[in-house]
Amino acid sequence: KPVIGVFALQGNVREHLAMLAQVGVEGRPVRRPSELAEVDGLVLPGGESTTMDKLARSFELFEPLQKRIADGMPTFGTCAGMIMLANEITGGIEGQETLGGLDVTVRRNAFGRQVDSFEADLEFAAFDTAYHAVFIRAPWVERVGREVEVLSTVSSGPAEGRIVAVRHDRLLATSFHPEMTGDARLHGYFADLVRDH
């Protein structure tokens, strides 16, 4: 049974652990390098990417994380976690760095102030029915590299066509919060990716 860690210095940790339990994998909070070394895959939750960046550094997790991701550890970044995985960001704060690995450019707080948070039904080729997604001060993906697969885009409204879910080999990322709606299909998709690895 694979063990999937959840980066636990900041963000919706408990919710992700609950979803992992729902799809039959063992979830574990990861706060230190020794804990990171014991997991087969990792979830980078939503929260605040600038804070996650700083905390990862002060807990000496930044470099170990970067190394494991570069070595092919399956990783699922959600919202701020998507920002952390992106090779490039726009709208970051001065000095903000990301772990990288995912060949995309992500715009922080992309949907604008008027729509601080919103919900939308998304189509995924892998799922039979729409996936109801919750976006909170969410980023979107502005550029995708050649090897990146777009899994879902916003289907209507002012943000129509914006890319909100991508996969690059073993890296999965969503602009929204898949841990908040009780729909475990994306965690299941990620667990399969970890099992296949």
Q: Which residues are catalytic?
A: 79, 177, 179
CB of 138 to ligand GLN, least distance (A): 6
Part of the chain binding ligand GLN (CB under 6 A), chosen from 42-50, 67-75, 97-105, 187-195: 42-50
Residue 52 or 69: the one with the smaller Cβ distance to ligand GLN is: 52
**Contact between residue 170 and residue 193 where contact means Cβ atoms under 8 Å apart:** yes
The letter for the amino acid at 148 is V
Which position among 28, 68, 107, 108 is part of the footprint of ligand GLN (CB under 6 A)? Answer: 108
Cβ proximity to ligand GLN: between 2 and 187 the closer is: 187
Beta 75-78 vs 86-90: how paired, if at all? unpaired
Rounded to a whole number of angstroms, the minimum distance from the CB of residue 119 to ligand GLN is 13
HSE of 175 in the Cβ direction (CA atoms, 13 Å)? 33
Q: What angle do CA 37, 41, 42 make, to 5 degrees?
A: 90
How far apart, in Å, are the Cα atoms of 185 and each of 73, 103, 108, 119, 146?
A: 20, 24, 25, 17, 26
Residue 47 counted as an annotated binding residue: yes
Residues binding ligand GLN (CB under 6 A): 46-49, 79-80, 83, 108-109, 136-137
Binding residues for L-glutamine: 47-49, 108, 136-137
